Structure 1
Amino acid sequence: MKPLTKSRFKTALECPNKLFFTSKKEYANNKSEDPFLQALASGGFQVEALARLHYPNGIFIDTENYEYEKAVQLTQEALKQENVVIYEAAFQFEGLFIRTDIIVKTGNTIKLIEVKAKSFNPNEDHNFVGARGGLVSSWKSYLFDLAFQKYVAQKAFPDFKFEAYLLMADKTKKAAIDGLNQLFRIPNNGNPRTDIIKRVNSINEIGNSVLSETNVDNIVNDIIRDKYKYYENLNFEEAITTFKNAYQEDRYLNWPIQFSACKNCEFKATPEQEKEGMLSGFKHCFSKQLNWTENEFNKPNAMQIWNFRGKNLMEENRLLMEQITEEDINIKPEAGRMSPSERQWIQVEKAINKDTSIYVEKESLKQEMDKWKFPLHFIDFETSTVALPFTAGRKPYEQVAFQFSHHTYNEDGTIEHQSQYINNTPGEFPNFIFARALQAAIGKDNGTIFKFATHENTIINAIISQLEESNETDKNELITFLKTISIANKNHAQPWEGDRNMVDLCKVVKDYYYNPLTKGSNSIKAVLPASLNTSEFLKAKYSQPIGNINLSSHNFPANHVWLQLEEESVINPYKTLPPLFDNWEETDLEENVSDMENIADGGAALTAYAKLQYVDMTPNERDEITKGLLKYCELDTLAMVMIYEHFLHDIINKPN
C-alpha cells in the first residue's frame, strides 16, 4: 500500500512535482524532517499534550507510521463506542490515508480537531478569511490540510457527521500557574509522540488553559466545494485524484514550474551531494521542462538574484542571468547608497562577467563609519518563542531571550570577547535577568552598539513590554536603559529612538558593500566566509592562533585558529564547529525550523534551548549543549568584528 497521506498531500500543494521526489532516498532533500527536532523547536509536543487534557481519557492509536491497516482497524474498533475520544485516529479511503490529532465522537457526530503549534487571536475578524474574501495565505496550507482530513474521514464513514476544528494557543489568554511549560517533558532518548511525562492529569490542575478551540467547518466545507482553490486550474477532488494517481504510479506530473516555488525548492543537490551520487529534483524539472543541460545549470540564474521576484521570466524561458535586462530589474538609483535594484544589477553584471571583486560605495561607507564611537560593541541574541508560558500571567508564544554574546573593538585595535550570558535552567523565565546582564555588559560607556539585522531590536521591544507589565523592582531603570539602545516598533503607542540606538551592520552591508562570493545572500553565515575569502587582512590575521593576535575568548583555547583552508578556499568557520545535534549541520537546522511560529533565524540555538528546557538529561549532556551554544553565539559576534575589520583595513584605510 502506497497511500496519499496528509503530509504527501501538503507537499503536493506546495508543488505537485515534489511528489515524484519526496519518498526517493536518491534525491537530495534539505528539508528532511526530523520529527523529534520539529516537535522540540515548535513546542508542538507540549501543545499536543495539553490539548489531550482538554479531551481526557482518549484511546491512543499507538502504531508505527507505516502500519496503516493496523491503525485503521484499531480506529474502527474504537468508533463502535457511542461516545469516545480518540487520539491519532486513522482513516483510509480508496488510496488516501490520514491520522487526526483528536476526534470526539458523540453519537453520530464527530469533532475532528487539528492541534496546531501556532497562535491566534479569537477576537480578530479576519484570522482565516481576509477582508477581500480570500483565504489568509499564512493559514491556507493548514486549512487545506484539514479539508483533506475531513474529506477522507467523511468518505470512510458517510453515516457520521464530521465537523472541523482547530485547537491552538490563544494570544489573549494568560497562564494561571507558574511552570506550565515544565508540566510536559520528554525522557532522555524518548519519543515526543509516545513517551511524554505528564506532571498533571487534569485540566483543572492548571487553572485557565492557554489553548482555544475554533470552529472552521464552514471554511473547510467551502474548500471541499471549491469556493477556495489552491491552484486555479484544479478543483479539490481533482487535485486529490491527480496527486494520488501520480504518487501511486510513481509518475512525474510535469506541473508548470513557478519562480518562487523553484527558488525555494528543497530538492536541490549541492555539488558535494552530487559527487556522492545524489540526484537533484530541481535539475530533473528544469531539464524536462526547459531542456536545460549541465551547461545551463552551471551558469548563474535569476533565482539567485537577491530579493528578486522574476515576473514572467519562467513563461519567457529567460532564467539565466545573461538573459536578464536592466528593464527586468527596473533600476531606481538612490543617493548615497546602493538601492535594492542597483544592488541586484551589480550582482547580475558581476556574475555574468565572472567578476569576484567587491563593489563598495566607499565614500558613503566612510561617512557612516566616521559616526561610530569607540569602544565598538557587537552583540547577538539567541531567542525562542515558547509555546507554553514559564510563569503565571504570561501569554503563549512570547519572546524569550536566553543568550547573548558581546565583543568589543577598542580604539587601539584590541578585541575582547567581553561578556556572554546564557540561561540553561529549566523553567526559569530568563528575560529580566538577560536585560540586567545586557545593561552590565554595554551600559558603562557611550560606544556604538551593533546588531546584525532587526532581530535584536524586536526582542528589546518585547522585553520592554514585558517589563511594563511586571512587578520587577528595577523595571523603570531597565526600561530606561533598553530604550537608549533601541527604537520603538509599531506595537508601542509612545515612539522613542535611543541616542545609542543599535547600528544594523546587515543594513550597512546592503547599503554600501556587495561581495559576489555571497551570491546575493546577506546572511552573516554567507557574508563572513565571503569576507574571509576576499580580505588579505583577515587571511593574514586569522590564520594565526587567537592567543597570538590578542583576541580573548570565553569558549575557545589560545591555540584555536579560525581561518582554515581547503583547496585554496577558506572553510566557512560555522562548519568547523561541532554540530549541536547528531547528524545535523547547524546551517541545515536553520532551514528546517525557519517556517515555524515566529522563527526567522537561529533555528539550531532555539532547538537546543528547547532540549535544555524539556528533555530530561544528564548534567554532562546539559553541559555539552550549553558549551555548543556558547561557541556558536561567540562566533556570531566575532563574525561581526571580522566584517568591521574587513571594511576598515581592506576598504577605508586602503589607498584608492
Structure 2
Amino acid sequence: MKRTLRCLTKSRFKLGLECPNKLYYTRKKEYANQKNEDPFLKALAEGGFQVEELARMHYPDGVLIEGNDGDYHDLQKRTQELLQRDKVTIFEAAFLIDGLFIRTDILVKKGNDIELIEVKSKSYDPFDENLFIGKKGGMVKPWKPYLFDVAFQKHVIQLCYPDWSITAFLMMANKRKTASIDGLNQLFRITKTAQNRTGIDKRVDSLDEIGDSVLGTISIDGILDGIYNNKFKYHDSLTFLESINELNKAYQNDVYFNWPTSFSTCKACEFKSSPEDDEKGLKSGFKECFTKQHQWGKNEFAKPNTFDIWDFRKGGALLDEGILFKEDLTTENIGYIEQAGQLSRTERQWIQIEKDLDNDASSFIDTDGLQQEIGSWNFPLHFIDFETSTVALPFNKGRHPYEQIAFQFSHHIYHEDGTIEHASEYINDQAGVFPNFDFLRALKKVLSKDQGTIFRYATHENTILNAIYTQLSTSQEADKDALMAFIQEISHSKKDSANVWRGERDMVDLLVVIKKYYYNPHTKGSNSIKAVLPAVLHSSSFLQDKYANPIGNINISSKNFKDDHVWLRTENNKVVNPYKMLPKVFDNWTEEEIEMSLSEIEDIDNGGAALTAYGKLQYTDMSAEERKELSSALLKYCELDTLAMVMIYEYFKKLIE
C-alpha cells in the first residue's frame, strides 16, 4: 500500500494534541482550511530547511533516504537495510509500527546506542536554566509541541527496537555563537526546482568552509522522561500513551473524536470557513463541532458570540460554565473595572459587547481624552513603519543567529497646513547584506530635521530600535555614538535593558491611543491596522469624500503611486479594504492566508507578507526584473502602512474639531 495507508505521523500527532477533532478534518478537500501550508513559503519565512541542511553537514557520512515519500513501507524497508550496519548515520530514517509512522531528522547508530537528533529552526541560550521548564516547574508553553513531537518519535523507535538505548537531542541555532564567515546565509539557497525535500540548493561542501557552526545540540532526555511518566501532560485528561493510542485509533478509523470544545483552541481553529469558502461549498469543521457538541443551529451561529471579544481572558472559564453568547454576559462575569482618564480593557470589552447586542454600528469616542492627547502633539507629525526579518543563518561574520534585520521603512509627514507628504522611504533588497546601520542612518537623516511628534503603530518599531542599539554597542561603526544617541532620543528602553532611557521624542503608539479612547464595531474586536483602516474609512464621511479622489488632487504626494491613484473604492456599498488593492508578494496568497499559515512564527500577525517577500529576495535566484517587481510591491505595502496611520489621525482630528 502507498498513499492510501492511514498512519498517525508526527505532524498528525502534533495536530491531534492541539485538538483531537482536527484529525477528522485534516487533509479532506471538502473542509475549509485556513492553514494550508506551503513548504516553500515556510522555508522563505523561517529558514527551517536551511538549518536542516546545515545540521546535516555536521554528519558528513550521513545517508539520506529520499524519494517515494508516500510509500511508508518502502521508506521503512530502506531504513531497515541501512540499520543492519553496526555504525550508520541516517537522514530521514523511517519507522512504521501499528499505524504509527515517523521520520527522524538525524539518527546516529553505534551498535545499540542511538542518538535521535531533531533539528529545529529555533534558537536557544545554552545558559538559560529555564529554557524548557519554567521556574514554577511547568513546561514552557511554546516548547511544548516540539518536546512532545520528539517524545513521540522516540516512543515509536523504541516500539520498533526495544533493545536500543536511545538518547534524544534538539539541534538548534545557539544564540551565543556567531558566524565565522560573511555570507553564510547565501550558501543555502531556496528553490522550488530542487530535487530534495528541503528545496535547498546548497553551495558549500563541508563545515570546514564555514568555520565554527552556529548550531548546537541540547539533551532533552530528562524532559522526555517527564513526558513518559506523565509529569508533563499536554492535556490533563490524557496520559502520553493514551493520547497516542486514542489519536491513532480515531485517525485509523476516520471517526470524529468528539473532544470537548475549548475557547482558545476553537477561537484559533483553522477549519473555519470564510464567506468565500461558503460560496465554494466548503464545509466548516468549527461549525460541525458546535453543532454536535452544543446543538447550535442557524439561529445560534447568527448570534453574537464571545470568540471575537478583544483580549477576552475570561472566555475559557465562561465556556466551561456554558456561556458562549454575548447576551448571557454580565459586567460581573467579565470582571468589569473602570479606569480614570482612559478605557480599561474590560470597559472596552463591554462597549463591544453592548454594541454587538444592540446592532449599533456607531463608534465609541472619548472626545475629551482624545482631544487632550492630540493637543500634546507637535507639528509636523511623522508617521513611520518598519519592515523586518530575522534569519537563522547570519549575513555577516560576527553576527548571531536570529538577530533582527531592519530592511525597510516608510515615512509620511502631516504638515500643520494639512499637506500630506510621503517624505521618505528606505529599502535594502540586496541579498546577503546586513542593512541595519544604513537603515538607521537613513531614518536619522529624515527624522532629525525638526522636533515634530513621531508615531508608530504597536510596539514593533521600539523593539527593533532597541535591538539595533544593542548591535551598535558592540560594533566598530565610526558614528555609533551618534546613532545610539538618536535611538535614545526617539524610543524607550525595554524592561530588561542594561541601560534605561525614555527619549524626549519617544514615539507615540497610535495603537495605544486607539485602545484608550476609541472603539469601532466594524473592526469586530481587532486592533490590527489592517482592520482599523477599513473600519475608519467606513465610518468617516470626511475620509470617504477625500480619498475617493485621485491623490494628485488632494494634496498628497507618493513615491510609489501615480497621481491618478484612488485609495477609496466601494463594492456593493462597502468600502474595499485598501490592503486588498495592493499587489500580492507571494504567488496568489493574501496577507491573511500567509499569516494564518505561518502562525507559529513570532509576530507574524503584522507583516507576514513583507517577511516572506524579504526571504524571497534573500534566498532565491531571480532576475533583475523580478527583484524590481517584488521590491516595488514591498514599497507600496509599506507606504500604505504609514498612510493608514495618517488617515486614522485625520479621522481623529475631525472628530474633535
Normalized against structure 1, the TM-score is what?
0.97
Cα distance per residue 1:593-617 (max 9 Å; x no partner): 2322565521111111011111111
Distance (whole Å) between structure 2 residues aligned to residue 272 and residue 150 of structure 1: 42
Residue 131 of structure 1 deviates from its aligned partner by 2.2
Amino acid corresponding to residue 422 of structure 1 in structure 2: I
Contact 1:188 1:615 (8 Å CA) reproduced: no
Contact 1:175 1:209 (8 Å CA) reproduced: yes
Q: Secondary structure at the match of 1:88?
A: strand
Residue 244 of structure 1 deviates from its aligned partner by 0.9
Paired position in structure 2 for 1:578: 583
Paired position in structure 2 for 1:621: 626
The yes-or-no answer on 1:140 pairing with 2:134 is: no
Q: Trace 1:165-204 onto structure 2 (pairs within 5 A).
A: 165-187=169-191, 189-190=193-194, 193-204=197-208
The yes-or-no answer on 1:328 pairing with 2:359 is: no
The yes-or-no answer on 1:212 pairing with 2:240 is: no
Equivalent of 2:460 in 450, 455, 465: 455
Paired position in structure 2 for 1:233: 237
Contact 1:56 1:85 (8 Å CA) reproduced: no
Distance (whole Å) between structure 1 residues aligned to residue 598 and residue 54 of structure 2: 22
Paired position in structure 1 for 2:568: 563
Contact 1:39 1:192 (8 Å CA) reproduced: no
Distance (whole Å) between structure 2 residues aligned to residue 195 and residue 239 of structure 1: 33
Q: Secondary structure at the match of 1:292?
A: coil
Residue 525 of structure 1 deviates from its aligned partner by 0.5
Equivalent of 1:86 in 83, 87, 90: 90
Equivalent of 1:283 in 287, 290, 299: 287
Amino acid corresponding to residue 289 of structure 1 in structure 2: Q
Residue 195 of structure 1 deviates from its aligned partner by 4.3
Residue 134 of structure 1 deviates from its aligned partner by 1.9
Distance (whole Å) between structure 2 residues aligned to residue 485 and residue 409 of structure 1: 18
Between 543-552 and 11-20, report the one with greater CA deviation: 543-552
Distance (whole Å) between structure 2 residues aligned to residue 99 and residue 282 of structure 1: 30
Residue 123 of structure 1 deviates from its aligned partner by 1.0
The yes-or-no answer on 1:399 pairing with 2:380 is: no
Amino acid corresponding to residue 105 of structure 1 in structure 2: K
Cα distance per residue 1:271-301 (max 9 Å; x no partner): 2211221111111111111111111111211
How many residues are aligned here? 652
Contact 2:263 2:307 (8 Å CA) reproduced: yes
Equivalent of 1:466 in 467, 471, 484: 471
Equivalent of 1:28 in 10, 28, 32: 32
Amino acid corresponding to residue 165 of structure 2 in structure 1: K
Q: Secondary structure at the match of 2:354?
A: helix
CA, structure 1 residues 420+208, in 2 after alignment: closer, same or farther (shift >3 Å)?
Answer: same
Q: Trace 1:2-21 onto structure 2 (pairs within 5 A).
A: 2-21=6-25
The yes-or-no answer on 1:387 pairing with 2:392 is: yes
Residue 192 of structure 1 deviates from its aligned partner by 7.0
Contact 1:594 1:601 (8 Å CA) reproduced: no
After TM superposition, what 4+ stretches of structure 1 lie above 4 angstroms from structure 2?
Answer: 597-600
Contact 2:230 2:239 (8 Å CA) reproduced: yes
Q: Mark the runs of 5 or more structure 2 residues left unpaired by the alignment.
A: none
Paired position in structure 2 for 1:56: 60
Residue 591 of structure 1 deviates from its aligned partner by 2.1
Distance (whole Å) between structure 2 residues aligned to residue 268 and residue 383 of structure 1: 30
Distance (whole Å) between structure 2 residues aligned to residue 65 and residue 467 of structure 1: 47
Amino acid corresponding to residue 537 of structure 2 in structure 1: L
Residue 57 of structure 1 deviates from its aligned partner by 2.4
Cα distance per residue 1:94-128 (max 9 Å; x no partner): 10111111111112211111000001111111211
Q: Mark the runs of 5 or more structure 1 residues left unpaired by the alignment.
A: none
Equivalent of 1:156 in 157, 160, 163: 160
Distance (whole Å) between structure 2 residues aligned to residue 388 and residue 45 of structure 1: 11
Residue 189 of structure 1 deviates from its aligned partner by 4.2
Equivalent of 1:43 in 23, 33, 47: 47
Contact 1:117 1:597 (8 Å CA) reproduced: no
Contact 2:123 2:401 (8 Å CA) reproduced: yes
Distance (whole Å) between structure 2 residues aligned to residue 187 and residue 235 of structure 1: 41
Cα distance per residue 1:81-106 (max 9 Å; x no partner): 21111111111111011111111111
Identity %: 58
Distance (whole Å) between structure 1 residues aligned to residue 583 and residue 195 of structure 2: 24
Q: Secondary structure at the match of 2:455?
A: strand
The yes-or-no answer on 1:247 pairing with 2:287 is: no
Residue 410 of structure 1 deviates from its aligned partner by 0.5
Cα distance per residue 1:476-505 (max 9 Å; x no partner): 111111111000112322211111100000
Cα distance per residue 1:618-645 (max 9 Å; x no partner): 1121111111111110110111011011
Amino acid corresponding to residue 576 of structure 1 in structure 2: M
Paired position in structure 1 for 2:438: 433
Amino acid corresponding to residue 451 of structure 2 in structure 1: N
Between 373-382 and 158-167, report the one with greater CA deviation: 158-167
CA RMSD of aligned residues (A): 1.3
Amino acid corresponding to residue 140 of structure 2 in structure 1: V
Cα distance per residue 1:372-400 (max 9 Å; x no partner): 11111100000011111111111111111
Q: Secondary structure at the match of 1:7?
A: helix
Paired position in structure 2 for 1:603: 608
Distance (whole Å) between structure 1 residues aligned to residue 141 and residue 582 of structure 2: 37
Amino acid corresponding to residue 519 of structure 2 in structure 1: Y
Equivalent of 2:107 in 93, 103, 108: 103
Paired position in structure 1 for 2:645: 640
The yes-or-no answer on 1:548 pairing with 2:574 is: no
Contact 1:539 1:563 (8 Å CA) reproduced: yes
Cα distance per residue 1:320-366 (max 9 Å; x no partner): 11111111221111111111110000000000000000001101100
Equivalent of 2:542 in 523, 537, 548: 537
Contact 1:305 1:348 (8 Å CA) reproduced: yes
Distance (whole Å) between structure 2 residues aligned to residue 385 and residue 146 of structure 1: 25
Q: Secondary structure at the match of 2:522?
A: helix
Contact 2:21 2:257 (8 Å CA) reproduced: yes
Cα distance per residue 1:123-154 (max 9 Å; x no partner): 11121122222211111111000000111111
CA, structure 1 residues 504+64, in 2 after alignment: closer, same or farther (shift >3 Å)?
Answer: farther
Contact 1:186 1:615 (8 Å CA) reproduced: yes
The yes-or-no answer on 1:267 pairing with 2:256 is: no
